[in-house]
A and B are shown apart, each in its own frame.
Chain A
Amino acid sequence: MAELIIDTKKCIGCGLCIKSCAYNALSLANKKAVVDDDCVFCGSCIKSCPVEAIWIEREIVEIKDLTNYKDIWVLIEEDRDEILPVSYELLTKGRELAAEKKCDVNALILGNNIQKKFENIFEFGANKIYYFEGSEFNEKLDEVFIEYLDYVCKVYNPEIFLFGATGFGRSIAPKLAARLNTGLTADCTILSIDDNGLLKQTRPAFGGNLMATIICPNHRPQMATVRSGVMKAYKVIDKNRRKELINIEAIKLQNKKTELIERIIEEKTKSISDAEIIVSVGKGIGSQKNIEIVQKFADLLGAEIGVSRPLVDIGWAGYEKQIGQTGSVIAPKLLIALGISGAIQHLAGISGAQTIIAINTDPEASIFSVADYKVVGDCIEILKGVINKLTV
């Protein structure tokens, strides 16, 4: 077990560590800092302590020989016979990480009718494609994929395995992690390699303005999911790169416990992920009827409307309009953000926007820290004026 040690002789009871702790695990007792069970040993308090009275003692774990584990693997996910963009984004990221680790990037694709997709997978950077072709994957049932993934992990020993944080990925990745008794970090926004060759997985934490960096030192594979649009995909032109195709063995699936009865595809109405201009609104618009004004403005620009999560929560807009970490990631040419404070989860969805104009009554709002144009003022009043100006 790890233990957070506070040296009561050194502690001066200044309370800076308490303020630095995002997990609310520290408090003062008899003018000395004390720690409780909520501590996750992130080490923020250590950095905050002016007198070096805090440190972490980690149990010396028996160092496992992990040298058998190698390469970075990406699960390629398909939807209606098309590879999802997030898979290409992961291959591109994987290539970057592999360059640092001096290892290969391997793609795993399980599906029907996959041969014609190999070229693309190589183009985005895979060195090897492991594949199995069969109709058993058509139903996209977790338990079928799990058996193959489990097999692949046990036979080929991946060091790192990346999954898209799609509905499907978020269901199979944790199941696989538990099967392999390893760690998984959901919704990473930054992936990098540390000095020891470990995968540093950074994700937003705490509803607020914090990021947490997580490692998985003693278990393999190191697993992470990444949302669509968070990383960028591009092709590599590298004629000399070694490219290999490996057909993996068929696996006998024993009595299945789930059965797909029906799968209904609902054509997405115009999605905000693809919109070129977006007018986004948050709680600062005040009342539901102001949405009409926003709609009028959006129509004028040919824009789509996006919203922050509270508007979905109170039912003023559908979930498909939500921007952010738990909504859609957008990448418009122009984003006009009205009455949005700019919480980290919201910002996670808008980093791809080219130009951001933000209107907010609070000059300190975080949204301004990512905006190109800062307008302090009442968004509805200003909007009405802009509508007038644009219609004359």
Chain B
Amino acid sequence: MKIVVCVKQVPSSNEVKLDPKTNTIIREADKSVINPYDKFAIEEALKIKDNLKGEVIALSMGIPATEKILRDAMSRGCDRSVLLSDKKFAGADTLATAYTLSLGIKKIKNVSLIICGKMAIDGDTAQIGPELAETLKIPHITDVSEIIKISENEITCRKINDNGYSIIKMVLPAVITVVKDINLPRLPTIPGVLKSIHASFEIINAHNATANINRIGSTGSPTQVIDTFIPERKNVAIEIEGDIDKKIDFIGDIIKEIMYNGRIDN
């Protein structure tokens, strides 16, 4: 069985802090890592391969430096990886990203299952999975917390809902997105790391992917970011000063007052 895992490179620290004096952004040392949710996706693919045999391919769209996280994926046990990389892919929103990833999957051919993370921590949209499925005209299940059964042409999953869970059976090929309760990812092994250093590595540009130029990058993105700004804060806090006993007294009094006036029963 051929399984594709979609992995995204994200900054290791997603904290973007603001310098309150100059209103400029202070970035902490910016290392790139595999999107944490995608590690669970990789592990789930490897578990399936352990049982059913087959091939696990890590797929990403990103700048050339994404190679590093794809080699990381291979050191964990992915057989090979494919990187969609081209200046023309730049500025892609989720729809254009999903389309571009779908081209990679078509190139890989005969893929039975595509596993995505629940969401990417730098964007937190959780849209790629369902959009990718639709672009490929196949079904999907989001928020999968367990694969109960899988065969060559069918998968049964446990899907987390807002108020419980569902067991859903789905025809393959299909896309699933996984939550972090699904497994405990294995660590890279030393032989794995050694192998990954020399593993073959495929980079596909827009031309080789036979991309429709109108569907990739910023041109293919229906949405446009038109502004980024610092949210306004109300900044009206009354500061409780004095020594610790004063503070304790004050807090105790406020709590009593609110609970009494607000008529909140204990």
**Interface on A for B, CB 8 Å cutoff?**
1-2, 16, 19-22, 24, 36-44, 48, 59, 79, 141-143, 166-168, 170-179, 181-187, 200, 204-219, 257-266, 268, 276-277, 301-302, 325-326, 333-334, 336, 343-344, 347, 355, 357-359, 364, 366, 368-377, 381-382, 385-386, 388-390
Give B98's nearest chain A residue, CB to CB.
Answer: A178
Contact yes or no, B25 A19, CB < 8 A: yes
Q: Which residues of A contact B237 (CB under 8 A)?
A: 358, 368-369, 371-374
Which residues from A are CB-within-8-Å of B22?
19
Contact A334 B259, beta carbon cutoff 8 Å: yes
Q: Is the CB of B135 within 8 A of A178?
A: yes
- Write 8 A-B pairs (CB below 8 A) sorted by A numbering: A37-B91, A170-B142, A182-B222, A208-B14, A257-B170, A261-B167, A334-B258, A382-B247
Chain A residues contacting B126 (CB-CB under 8 Å) are: 170, 174, 186
Contacts of A200 in B (CB 8 A): 226
Give the residue name and chain of the A residue nearest to B119 (CB): A326
B166 close to A263 (CB less than 8 A):
yes
In the complex the two chains form, is B91's CB within 8 Å of A209's CB? no
B169 interface residue (CB < 8 Å to A): yes
Q: Which residues of B contact A359 (CB under 8 A)?
A: 251
- Residue of chain B at shortest CB distance from A261: B167
Given contacts A211-B229, A334-B255, A375-B247, contact A167 B143 (CB under 8 A): yes
Residue of B nearest to A178 (CB): B134
Name the residue on A nearest B214 (C-beta). A61
- Tell me whether A301 and B134 are in contact (CB under 8 A): no
For A167, give its contact among B15, B160, B221, B227 (CB under 8 Å): B160
B 254-266 binary contact with A (CB < 8 Å = 1; else 0): 1110110010111
Given A217-B224, A258-B170, A206–B93 Cβ distance below 8 Å? Answer: no
A219 to B122, CA, bound (A): 25
Would you call A37 and B87 a contact (CB within 8 A)?
A: yes
Once bound together, how far apart are the Cα atoms of A219 and B11, in whole Å? 31
Q: Max chain B CB contacts within 10 Å: which of A20, A171, A177, A205?
A: A171
Quick one: which of B24, B164, B227, B234 contacts A42, CB cutoff 8 A? Answer: B227
Say if the beta carbon of B90 comes within 8 Å of chain A.
Answer: yes
- Give which listed residue, B15, B222, B231, B249, contacts A207 with CB less than 8 A: B15
Please determine whether A369 and B233 come into contact, CB atoms closer than 8 angstroms: yes
Is B51's CB within 8 Å of the partner chain A?
no
- CB pair A22 B16 closer than 8 Å: yes
Contact partner of B131 (CB less than 8 A), chosen from A37, A174, A218, A261, is A174
Q: Indicate with 1 or 0, residue by residue over B183-220, a CB within 8 angstroms of chain A CB atoms.
A: 00000000000000000000000000000000001110
Inter-subunit contact B228/A42 (CB<8 Å): yes
Instruction: List B contacts of A266 (CB < 8 A).
Output: 163-165
User: Is the beta-carbon distance between A385 and B248 smaller than 8 angstroms?
Assistant: yes
- Report the Cα distance A141→B250, complex, angstroms: 53
- Cβ of B50 within 8 Å of any chain A Cβ, yes or no, is no
* B179 to chain A: closest residue by CB: A319
Tell me whether B133 is interfacial, beta carbon within 8 Å: yes
Report the minimum CB–CB distance from B132 to chain A (whole Å).
8
Chain A residues lying within 8 Å of B230, measured Cβ to Cβ, are 209-211
| Alpha-carbon distance A187/B124, docked complex (angstroms) | 9
**Chain B contacts for A182, CB-based, 8 A:** 95, 222
User: Contacting chain A: which of B74-82, B106-114, B238-246?
Assistant: B238-246
Interfacial residues, chain B to chain A (CB-CB below 8 A): 11, 13-18, 20, 22, 24-25, 27, 30, 63, 87-91, 93-95, 98, 121-135, 138-143, 156, 160-171, 174, 217-219, 221-231, 233-240, 244-245, 247-252, 254-256, 258-259, 262, 264-266
Q: Which residues of A contact B129 (CB under 8 A)?
A: 174
- Chain B residues in 8 Å Cβ range of A213: 225-229
Q: Give min CB distance, B27 to chain A, whole Å.
A: 6
Pick from B91, B93, B247: contact of A183, CB under 8 Å: B93
Contacts of B167 in A (CB 8 A): 260-264
Bound form: Cα–Cα A41–B160 in Å = 36
B-chain residues with CB within 8 Å of residue A178 when the two chains form the complex = 95, 98, 130-135
Known contacts A372-B238, A377-B247, A381-B244; is A38 also within 8 Å of B255 by CB? Answer: no
B251 touches which of A207, A215, A357 (Cβ 8 Å): A357
Known interface pairs A168-B162, A260-B168; A301-B248 also in contact (CB < 8 Å): no
Least Cβ–Cβ distance between A364 and chain B, in angstroms: 8
A257 CB to closest chain B CB (Å) equals 4
**A186–chain B nearest beta-carbon distance, Å:** 4
CB pair A42–B252 under 8 Å, yes or no, is no
Assuming the A-B contacts A21-B25, A373-B240, are A325 and B63 also in contact, with contact meaning beta carbons closer than 8 angstroms in the complex?
A: no
Contact B228 A211 (CB under 8 A): yes
Residue of A with least CB distance to B28: A208
Q: Which of B30, B90, B165, B249 contacts A39 (CB 8 A)?
A: B90
Knowing A174-B131, A208-B18 are in contact, say whether A186-B124 is a contact too (CB < 8 A). Answer: yes
Q: How far is the CA of A79 from the CA of B163 in the complex (A)?
A: 9
- A79: nearest residue on chain B (CB-CB)? B163
* Given contact pairs A22-B16, A369-B233, A2 touches B226 in the complex (Cβ within 8 A): no
Q: Is the CB of B15 within 8 A of A343?
A: yes
**In contact, B248 and A174 (Cβ under 8 angstroms):** no
Contacts of A302 in B (CB 8 A): 264-266
Apart from A208-B14, A217-B224, A325-B124: 5 A-B pairs, beta carbons within 8 A? A171-B143, A174-B128, A208-B17, A369-B233, A382-B247
* A1 near B219: Cβ-Cβ < 8 Å: yes
| A146 to B24 CA separation, bound complex (whole angstroms) | 43
Instruction: Specify which chain B residues have a CB less than 8 angstroms from the CB of A173 in the assembled complex.
Output: 127, 130
Query: Once bound together, how far apart are the Cα atoms of A19 and B26, in whole Å?
Result: 7
Partner of B90, one of A37, A142, A181: A37
The interface centre, meaning the residue of A22, A143, A218, A359 with most chain B CB atoms within 10 A of its CB, is A22
Name the CB-closest residue of A to B171: A257
